[in-house]
Amino acid sequence: MVEQKESSGIKRAIVIALKDLRMMLRERTFVTVIMLLIFVASFASVLTFGLLIMYNPAYLDIFFEKEIKVGVAGKAPVLESFLNAEHYDSLNDALEDFYSGKVDIVLWLPSEDINGENFIQVFMPKDEITSIQASVFIKKKLIEYQNYLRKLRGIPEEEKLSVFTPDFTPLNVPEGVSMVFKFIYVVLIPLMMITTAVIASGLLIDLITEERETETLIPLLAAAEGSEIITGKMMAAVILPVLLTPLWLFLLMINGVEIANFFAVLSIAYAFSFFMISLSALIVTFFRDRERSQLVFSIVTVGLMPILFIHPFMPAAMITRISAGSEYGIEFSLLHLFGGLLALLISRKLFRL
């Protein structure tokens, strides 16, 4: 008799969870955020390519071929020979043609010194596409010019080009591959984990407060016990990250992002989602209404963000290391998952009280 009652209670909880999930599909905010999450995972390769172009425009060289018109101001015959450039005696004349569109890029070298240092000022166009094309072209030519001068002095050639600000402060320009690696594993994957957890947690707050605000809780209590209602609503919040997390992981993999230790990454993401759902359950228990609960939850979430990265075994740092293929002990991911489940169970008990 007891087993039959428990079985029917679980069935009612599942019915409530499915009902709440259907209601969620009518919420434009949640659906929009979920679609945005899926969109980012689906087009991760496009975002990665955009980042490559941003930090290393040379990747566009294979797509754009344009004859770049270069103007050189000053006395630099060797530099002009490498560029087949238009010569200008003064910088003002060169800039006049530059602003009128007669030349795409201007180089200013007052007096070329074959045996000494040459600081070249480069004036680039504001137009983004032309600027990218010009930067790709001029970088190659300046490296050739640099290596020619090194050869004259008996110095080994070098493919690296030193970049300075207008006040001659050395400028460290990061290479594209390392930046893309950081973007994917340090920013994108942890951000998607956090977003999934926040969506599920916000869903639970809305599911609970909406029943109170619309006064549908009393009719619902007539059909199911309070513990079954709580179980159903928490089940709906848990189902969302359980389904959504492997989905965006698979979409990232389809886009060419290598996810090492897939199940360990999944367990960390699940653990964090369970913890955040527990946190939202505790907040809505104390504050009860939607506005205050969502406000407090948002403030707490923002405050938690820096903490997630402060230690190698915190969730965000952990998922970065594991997904990138760093060595780890399986016990750490299991410990995270156990902690998330424990937090979920504790919050459910307090929620019932």
Helices 2-24 and 226-254: angle between axes, nearest 10 degrees: 50
Among 183, 209, 200, CA closest to 287? 209
Domains present along the chain, CATH in parentheses: 2-52+177-352 (no CATH), 60-173 (3.40.1710)
Q: Do you know the residue count of the chain?
A: 353
Dist. CA 205–CA 151, nearest whole Å = 69
From 121-135, 159-173, 291-305, the region with the lowest mean pLDDT: 159-173
- Backbone φ and ψ for 7, nearest 5 degrees, come out as -65, -45
Section 226-249 average pLDDT? 84
* Predicted confidence (pLDDT) at residue 280 exceeds the cutoff of 80: yes
- Token pair 């367990």: residue: 267
* Predicted confidence (pLDDT) at residue 243 exceeds the cutoff of 60: yes
* Predicted confidence (pLDDT) at residue 9 exceeds the cutoff of 70: no
- Name the E strands within 55-180: 70-75, 86-88, 105-111, 121-123, 163-164, 170-171
Determine the pLDDT at residue 3: 52
User: Which range, 60-74, 107-121, 235-249, has the best average confidence (pLDDT)?
Assistant: 235-249
* Predicted confidence (pLDDT) at residue 246 exceeds the cutoff of 50: yes
* Predicted confidence (pLDDT) at residue 345 exceeds the cutoff of 70: yes
Section 98-110 average pLDDT? 86
Write out pLDDT tens, residues 170-202.
Answer: 766 555 445 667 778 888 899 899 989 998 888
Strand partners, 122: 107
- Class of residue 17 by CB neighbours under 10 A (exposed 0-12, middle 13-18, buried 19+): buried
pLDDT: is 215 or 89 the higher one?
Answer: 89
Classified as helix, coil or strand, 74 is strand
Section 199-228 average pLDDT? 74
What is the DSSP annotation of 18-39? Answer: HHHHHHHTT-HHHHHHHHHHHH
